[in-house]
Amino acid sequence: MFHPIRHFITITRHRHEVVRLCFRAGIGFQGFFHDLSKYSPTEFIPGAHYYSGKESPNNGERRDKGYSLAWMHHKGRNKHHFEFWYDYELATKKIVPMDMPDRYIKEMFCDRVAASKTYNKQGYTDKSPLEYLQKSTANEKMTPTTYRKLLYLLQMLAEKGEKETLKFMRHCKELPLAEIAPSTAP
């Protein structure tokens, strides 16, 4: 089924929440440019085609085709995704993750919170984004520094709430690293 209106409403609601969070986190100008590529035909058309309202349409495209062209387009244009920060390492000749600048880690935090609110709706709690991260394999795909900084913010959100975490982010010049138990270290 093709749902362009529903998809438009979902991505716009998500984007507006990210903009709101970015302003409160002290990176408001950056928030204005968040996810604009989702409105491009390359991302919007598959998004409307695979829209379910319960998960990212990219997952539907992956199930159907085995890959998501919309996601590949998106991650290559949006610096708040850790996948954007992969580069060719000269010494090993392998594609490896690079450390993300703090401003994009802050935007990634805002994006994850907004996505949790968008897809979990009434089931959202301040622990939801942390639980999602912990269930994922992101720690294997980010640099340890990037992962630990994001983890620090999501743990703070879970423990102290949104208002306190965004206030901290607004005044923080350099993000701290979360403490990780040796058995769970990336």
Question: Could you give the CA distance from residue 72 to residue 126 in angstroms, rounded to a whole number?
Answer: 29
Question: Could you give the CA distance from residue 16 to residue 26 in angstroms, rounded to a whole number?
Answer: 15
Mean pLDDT of 58-85: 97
For residue range 18-33, list pLDDT tens digits in order: 999 999 999 999 999 9
Q: How confident is the model at residue 53 (pLDDT cuts 50, 70, 90)?
A: confident
How confident is the model at residue 54, as a pLDDT?
83
Cβ(95)–Cβ(86) below 8 Å? yes
Q: How confident is the model at residue 186 (pLDDT cuts 50, 70, 90)?
A: low
Mean pLDDT of 73-92: 96
| pLDDT over threshold 70, residue 34 | yes
How confident is the model at residue 143, as a pLDDT?
97
How confident is the model at residue 183, as a pLDDT?
52
Q: Say whether 150 sits in a helix, a strand or coil.
A: helix
Tally of domains in the chain: 1
Task: Tell me the one-letter amino acid at 70.
Answer: A
How confident is the model at residue 181, as a pLDDT?
64
Question: Could you give the CA distance from residue 82 to residue 95 in angstroms, rounded to a whole number?
Answer: 13
In DSSP terms, which residues pair with 88 in a beta bridge? 95
Q: How confident is the model at residue 158 (pLDDT cuts 50, 70, 90)?
A: very high
pTM of the entire predicted model? 0.92
Mean pLDDT of 150-156: 97
Give the structural domain span for 170: 4-184
Mean pLDDT of 34-51: 97
